[in-house]
Amino acid sequence: MRDFTLRGVILGALLTALFTTANVYLGLKVGLTFATSIPAAVISMAVLRLVGKSNILENNIVQTIVSAAGTLAAIIFVLPGLVMIGWWQGFPYWMTTAVCAIGGILGVMYSIPLRRALVTGSDLPFPEGLAAAEVLKIGAKSQEGGAENARGLWVILWGGIASAAFAALAAMKLVVSHLAVHFRVGAGATGLSASFSMALIGVGHLVGLSVGIAMLLGMILCWAVLVPYLTARHGMVGSASDVVAAVFGHEIRYIGAGTIGVAAIWTLVKIMGPIARGIGSAMAAARARRGGEALDVTERDLPIGIVGGTIILSLIPIAALLWWFGSGGPVVEHAGIAITATLVYVVIIGALVAAVCGYMAGLIGASNSPISGVGILAVLGAALLLVLYFGQSSDLATSRALVAYALFTTSLVFSIATISNDNLQDLKTGQLVGATPWRQQVALILGVVFGSLVIPLVLDLLNTAFGFAGAPGAGPHALVAPQAALISALATGVLGGKLDWTLIAIGAGIGVIVILIDEVLGKVRRMRLPPLGVGMGIYLPMGMTLLIPVGALIGWAYDRWAERQANPESAKRMGVLAATGFIVGESLFGVVLAGIVGATGNDTPLSIVGANFTGVAMIAAPAVFVALIAQLYRYTRWLAAG
């Protein structure tokens, strides 16, 4: 079957421009981005079927291109910090493009040997990769007929319609999209919040009960222990919601980052063996290919020599970028040592974050992976590296130049992290649909290039129109860019000597305890407690994570029912398709809404009711949400049993 076609590449480039623009805007506005793989797969199947016969592999290449570009938009969690601290007034086009492109291509290269370690050689769920594969397979099989294929198509179709419909109701303000309440607990305060997102229910179903319980434990630890204690320690000056928000943003995030950091290091230690075997396997495959031995198409990666050569050659443009960026500042005055140390840091830390981000994406999906937590750890390392050589300067100009250099270095590492976070999801999809890995890897590189050309244009446009909160001259409608603000503050704190390392140490201690518990559970053959899952439960807002454990519980209950059916595997697949439909519908509606917001400049372009309807919307939201999910799973069970 044809896979790499000119029309597929053109469609991928067009969708890349659309989805990257939407992700950049939403990420700067609310601090969230959406996964683009599934919407791209759905749109590709629809468009290519209209213009001529298509197949599953061609549609897979399109979604691979678009997903790489969509996830690269997460670079906005770092780069706007350079404007916020006043170092940049805009986004230099070629410098910004080069940072995204070089870091993204390195992310592809680093993740190639990881495919054998984490995709083909592990049992990680890769929920979004699995969901995208199911979308592609059901789309291809719908043309072939068959009772099971028809039932599967109906399941994913109705799941998608319901998910998109609820998101549309929320956009029209007929139901609320989330509920949050903050209240006093003794001398402190805490809160409860939940987003009414059917996509999160779908993610929970796909990741399973073990990850769901780990995230729930992290949330309980955060909101029942840490937040009440820290708010009480500071004193309740102001409303409960303001105090809780301040504690979560300025303290809990660092504790969560410490837990994620320790869990990430432990995860890296545990997967070093599979990674080494993956590299060895890649080298063996290269030797076999040179010897004329035919490899199965599903095992053909880009040759390891090309991978290594690309990584080594990338050091030249990275060094040039660092020199260019640091010109006129203290770094260039000590260029030999400073730039060499930065190159070593980018190469080594880039390899580490590629492995960790790939593992996290395999665990809970690229959309829900706390990639900004990796950004926190990366900027900590970059800033500490500068402190070791330059010290903590009291001169404001020197300090600002060093903070800017730390942020720029982090942006390179972050580009590697974002692509690694997504790349293995695509390769998992490819494995499930029988794609050739090296072709997908080339498609990923194309996606990185397409996205890199778009991102600086969108950033400059938004900076001119709105500006960023905290930046010099920012207007009343400035974009919040919460992650960029946090990472900038962190770099400033390290280089200015004002960072509270106790918070990160507390998080690291929690991580060590969870690792010990997880290892004990593994020894007695009980359900595991993934440490990264616990760290993410602490680090991420409750509204983003609460429904993942709920979805995991629903998925567990559904699978228990499926095991009692005449064809258990077929029944379980129906559940996977229902969960996939939840993700598909909300993702597609997110793209449409982002386009409308961008075109109108209105944050709530679909709202049809006023603020006086909020009370009704708050009551209606949980009722409609629960009813839809219950009815869809009932419908899925009916089809699976038939």
Mean pLDDT over residues 294-318, rounded?
78
82-96, 186-200, 371-385, range with the lowest pLDDT: 371-385
622: number of Cβ within 10 Å: 14
Q: Residues 580, 135: contact at Cβ < 8 Å?
A: yes
3-class secondary structure, 185: strand
Percent of the chain with pLDDT over 90: 11
Prediction pTM value: 0.70
Q: Residues 263, 528: contact at Cβ < 8 Å?
A: no
What tokens were used for 22?
């939407």
Q: Residues 309, 277: contact at Cβ < 8 Å?
A: no
As separate numbers, helices (DSSP H) first and strands (DSSP E) second, the chain gives 26, 2
What tokens were used for 109?
């290269």
Bridge-partner residues for 195, per DSSP? 178
Rounded to whole angstroms, how far apart are CA atoms 361 and 357?
Answer: 6
- The domains of the chain are located at 6-641
pLDDT digits (tens, 9 = 90+) for 435-483: 788 888 888 888 888 888 888 888 887 777 667 766 766 665 666 666 6
Rounded to whole angstroms, how far apart are CA atoms 26 and 6?
Answer: 30
Closest CA to 193 of 214, 206, 176: 176
Which residues are CB-neighbours of 331 under 8 A, at least 6 positions away? 322, 338, 339, 401, 402, 405
Rounded to whole angstroms, how far apart are CA atoms 60 and 523?
Answer: 40
Which residues are CB-neighbours of 406 under 8 A, at least 6 positions away? 379, 382, 383, 386, 491, 494, 495
pLDDT digits (tens, 9 = 90+) for 113-123: 777 767 776 66
pLDDT digits (tens, 9 = 90+) for 21-58: 767 766 666 555 666 777 677 777 777 777 777 778 88
What tokens were used for 254?
């660092």
SS3 content of the chain, % helix, strand, coil (to 5): 80, 5, 20
- More confident of the two residues 27 and 245: 245
Rounded to whole angstroms, how far apart are CA atoms 601 and 235?
Answer: 40
**Residue 540 phi, psi dihedral angles, 5° rounding:** -85, 145
Rounded to whole angstroms, how far apart are CA atoms 222 and 252?
Answer: 8
Residue 291 pLDDT exceeds 80: no
